[in-house]
């Protein structure tokens, strides 16, 4: 099945009203912190008043409790909790089982033998794909999960009815497969997934593409939230060959299923490209900044289908897919040896993944930065390259746009920031440490800017990456802004820094572009005048390409790896990659160590140094504001002008955490 446009549409418009879920369930980890009906965070008083032994779920308000708790008991969700508490007390991930039980209860399905289990309520169950045994262990895990889960659901239903379990759990398995195939993770305000929800065919029939033209967002609507006006009509209609299925679906829509979760998290589909009437609408089910092989593996594991979208079928592969797995051979002797290449890529992948996983679990940012920067600069370390049969091995390096490089920049930006705050926490009284911390924060900002610039280059050839790119620009902006406003600059010029006001947009408004006006118009809800993506992007790139050269050499001073990037915004150097020696990196011992000695010379330079320092900060601030507003502009295309991101950016722009204290009196 598929969904198509019923009329022509522009980019950045809602294609559906907020659609309520058929069923939703919080992940186990959020059961005590969020309302099980509407998914809103619970007020602290609710937590206190909830007796954990009497109920497994919490509600924010009487209406949520009144609408949801009957279903909790009648669907046997309650009994499932009792059952799981005895069998797997600590490792319960029961949200999919609970959503399946709830669905099973509200659907009032006819007896099994009168209907095929291929589709239930118009939704694909993928039953035959998911439970057919296969040769790889991944599928066996899924099979076990479905068999065990179906059985637990069936037993819980028997407990509810006071009957004996007959051993048959086919129907429960089918419902669980339906949930695994159709449920989406509910994420709001950029946080982690709160739970899952299953929507009717209006959303569930929208197919995946690796180059989608639409995206979706969630809207929480607790009973207190007023309905807002201006909701869109449904502009997508079912397509495909199965007329009967379509008629059934449309009929079920008008009847509206009894008991569906009226307070549950709603979903809104929105266009990220202009779409013509009759064209199919696609969303992405996975992260799109991954090469084809990884996307396919993920789609297969999660949804059991092989993607044949335009991007996947392109021959030759699209530019984006080429660069995401581009490598550079250090020694060309073995370049034809595909076996060798694959083996090397596998090792590189393991090495980068391990370094990132180590950092996330152990939290040693310094060690992680060292490893990642070495592998980016030189490929695998020597000890990983034992020769085969006496032949020395080709050493492959990652292209700066390789998906592992992108993952590495993301981690480096975070790790340098964490390292800085660890340093300040430990010995905040020492001057030298403050200098080094500032240096680390600079490097963190450099990596976020590099990441945004690099992925923007990819975005230029595939605009469906817009949501990821919006995020990268916003993080770069946030990072640059907090660097510009850091109080650590005082240690740089021995506490005599003249005051500059970096707390509001107005004092440093850019007259070269209309980003700020665009943002204000968005923020105050006047109809987004949509300067047009192309127009705004052009203005933005003009501004940042003139500011970046003023700050880049300063940002990367003393940092040997970053120096290899001539300019993070101008991607001309990328095109020369294959042939030139730009990337040829001479091993520096300790390339992560900050060269803070060069700072001391400058910091003794008196008034001029202070003035220069403030000029750098103004430029960093200006660049940061541009990145932030542009990221906000892109995100308003994906999530609408009134999303939490707009407020978040507003707060960052008007940040109060700018210079305070002594420094402000130095000016006169």
State the residues that interact with Zn ion by CB under 5 A. 35, 37-38, 60, 64, 210, 222, 307, 309, 312, 510, 512-513, 543
Class of residue 602 by CB neighbours under 10 A (exposed 0-12, middle 13-18, buried 19+): middle
Give the nearest distance from C-beta 307 to Zn ion in angstroms.
3
Give the nearest distance from C-beta 485 to Zn ion in angstroms.
19
Q: 405, 568 in Cβ contact below 8 A?
A: no
| Cα–Cα distance for residue pair 102/104, rounded to 1 Å | 5
The smaller minimum CB distance to Zn ion, of residues 194 and 413, is found at 194
> What are the phi and psi torsion angles at 183 (to 5°)?
-70, 145
The smaller minimum CB distance to Zn ion, of residues 193 and 510, is found at 510
Helix locations, 460-500, DSSP H: 466-484, 489-492
| Cα–Cα distance for residue pair 81/179, rounded to 1 Å | 18
The smaller minimum CB distance to Zn ion, of residues 236 and 312, is found at 312
The smaller minimum CB distance to Zn ion, of residues 279 and 343, is found at 279
Question: What is the DSSP code string of 7-44?
Answer: S-B-SS-B-S--BPPSEEEE-GGGTTTB-TTT-PBPPH
The smaller minimum CB distance to Zn ion, of residues 237 and 309, is found at 309
| Cα–Cα distance for residue pair 59/65, rounded to 1 Å | 6
> What are the phi and psi torsion angles at 78 (to 5°)?
-60, -45
Task: End-to-end CA distance of the chain: give it in Å, rounded.
Answer: 71
The smaller minimum CB distance to Zn ion, of residues 292 and 457, is found at 292
Give the nearest distance from C-beta 40 to Zn ion in angstroms.
5
Give the nearest distance from C-beta 130 to Zn ion in angstroms.
20
The smaller minimum CB distance to Zn ion, of residues 431 and 512, is found at 512
Give the nearest distance from C-beta 59 to Zn ion in angstroms.
5
Give the nearest distance from C-beta 643 to Zn ion in angstroms.
21
Cis check: omega of the bond before 316, within 30 degrees of 0: yes
- Per 3-state DSSP, the chain is made up of helix, strand and coil in percentages (nearest 5) of 55, 10, 40
The smaller minimum CB distance to Zn ion, of residues 15 and 307, is found at 307
The smaller minimum CB distance to Zn ion, of residues 470 and 543, is found at 543
Give the nearest distance from C-beta 561 to Zn ion in angstroms.
29
Give the nearest distance from C-beta 249 to Zn ion in angstroms.
25
Give the nearest distance from C-beta 46 to Zn ion in angstroms.
9
Q: 109, 115 in Cβ contact below 8 A?
A: yes
| Cα–Cα distance for residue pair 414/489, rounded to 1 Å | 20
The smaller minimum CB distance to Zn ion, of residues 66 and 587, is found at 66
Give the nearest distance from C-beta 50 to Zn ion in angstroms.
13
Rg of the chain, C-alpha, whole Å: 28
The smaller minimum CB distance to Zn ion, of residues 259 and 400, is found at 259
- Count the residues in the chain: 668
> What are the phi and psi torsion angles at 269 (to 5°)?
-95, 140
Give the nearest distance from C-beta 557 to Zn ion in angstroms.
25
| Cα–Cα distance for residue pair 192/326, rounded to 1 Å | 31
| Cα–Cα distance for residue pair 7/101, rounded to 1 Å | 37
| Cα–Cα distance for residue pair 468/452, rounded to 1 Å | 9
Nearest one of 615, 633, 618 to 514, comparing CA atoms:
633
| Cα–Cα distance for residue pair 521/558, rounded to 1 Å | 41
The smaller minimum CB distance to Zn ion, of residues 122 and 264, is found at 264
Q: Which sign does the torsion angle of CA 58, 60, 65, 71 carry?
A: negative
Q: 262, 18 in Cβ contact below 8 A?
A: no
Residue 255 β-bridge partners: none
Give the nearest distance from C-beta 70 to Zn ion in angstroms.
15
Class of residue 159 by CB neighbours under 10 A (exposed 0-12, middle 13-18, buried 19+): middle
């Amino acid at each position: 099945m598929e969904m198509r446009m019923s009329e022509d549409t522009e980019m950045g418009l809602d294609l559906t009203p907020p659609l309520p879920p058929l069923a939703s369930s919080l992940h186990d980890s959020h059961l005590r912190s969020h309302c099980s009906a509407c998914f809103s965070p619970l007020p602290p008083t609710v937590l206190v008043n909830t007796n954990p032994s009497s109920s497994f779920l919490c509600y924010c308000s009487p209406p949520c409790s009144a609408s949801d708790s009957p279903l909790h008991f009648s669907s046997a969700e309650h009994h499932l909790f009792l059952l799981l508490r005895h069998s797997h007390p600590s490792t319960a991930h029961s949200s999919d089982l609970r959503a399946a039980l709830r669905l099973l209860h509200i659907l009032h399905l006819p007896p099994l033998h009168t209907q095929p289990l291929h589709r239930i309520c118009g939704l694909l169950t993928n039953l035959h794909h998911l439970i057919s045994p296969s040769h790889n262990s991944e599928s066996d895990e899924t099979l076990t999960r479905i068999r065990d889960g179906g059985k637990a659901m069936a037993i819980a239903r028997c407990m509810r009815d006071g009957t004996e379990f007959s051993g048959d759990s086919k129907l429960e398995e089918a419902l669980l497969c339906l949930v695994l195939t159709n449920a989406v993770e509910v994420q709001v305000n950029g946080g982690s997934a709160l739970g899952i929800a299953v929507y009717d065919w209006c959303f569930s029939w929208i197919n995946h593409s690796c180059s989608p033209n639409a995206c979706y967002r969630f809207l929480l609507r607790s009973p207190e939230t007023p309905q807002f006006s201006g909701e869109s009509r449904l502009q997508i209609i079912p397509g495909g060959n199965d007329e009967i299925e379509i008629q059934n679906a449309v009929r079920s829509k008008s009847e509206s299923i009894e008991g569906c979760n009226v307070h549950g998290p709603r979903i809104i589909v929105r266009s990220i490209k202009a779409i013509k009437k009759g064209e199919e609408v696609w969303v992405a089910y996975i992260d799109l900044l991954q090469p084809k092989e990884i996307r396919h593996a993920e789609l297969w594991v999660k949804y059991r289908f092989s993607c044949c979208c335009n991007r996947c079928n392109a021959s030759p592969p699209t530019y984006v897919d080429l660069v995401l797995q581009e490598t550079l051979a250090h020694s060309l002797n073995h370049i034809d040896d595909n076996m060798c290449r694959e083996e090397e890529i596998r090792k590189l992948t393991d090495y980068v993944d391990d370094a990132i996983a180590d950092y996330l679990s152990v939290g040693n940012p310094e060690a992680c930065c060292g490893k990642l920067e070495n592998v980016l600069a030189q490929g695998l370390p020597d000890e990983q390259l034992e020769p085969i049969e006496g032949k020395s091995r080709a050493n492959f390096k990652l292209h700066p746009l390789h998906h592992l490089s992108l993952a590495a920049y993301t981690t480096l930006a975070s790790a340098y920031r964490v390292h800085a705050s660890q340093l300040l926490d430990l010995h905040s009284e020492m001057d030298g440490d403050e200098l080094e911390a500032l240096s680390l924060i600079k490097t963190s900002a450099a990596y976020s800017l590099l990441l945004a610039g690099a992925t923007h280059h990819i975005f230029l050839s595939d605009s469906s990456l817009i949501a990821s790119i919006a995020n990268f620009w916003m993080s770069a902006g946030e990072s640059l802004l907090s660097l510009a406003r850091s109080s650590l600059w005082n240690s740089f010029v021995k506490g005599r820094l003249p005051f500059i006001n970096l707390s509001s947009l107005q004092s440093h408004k850019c007259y070269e572009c209309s980003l700020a006006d665009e943002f204000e118009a968005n923020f105050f809800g006047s109809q987004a005048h949509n300067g047009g993506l192309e127009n705004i992007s052009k203005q933005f790139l003009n501004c940042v390409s003139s500011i970046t050269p003023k700050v880049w050499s300063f940002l990367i001073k003393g940092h040997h790896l970053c120096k290899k990037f001539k300019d993070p915004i101008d991607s001309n150097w990328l095109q020369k990659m294959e042939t030139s020696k730009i990337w040829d990196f001479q091993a520096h011992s300790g390339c992560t160590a900050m060269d803070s000695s060069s700072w001391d010379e400058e910091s003794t330079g008196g008034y001029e140094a202070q003035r220069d320092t403030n000029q750098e900060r103004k430029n960093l601030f200006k660049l940061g504001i541009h990145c932030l507003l542009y990221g906000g502009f892109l995100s308003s295309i994906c999530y609408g002008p009134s999303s939490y991101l707009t407020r978040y950016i507003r707060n960052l722009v008007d940040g109060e955490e700018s210079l305070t204290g002594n420094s402000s009196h130095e000016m006169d």
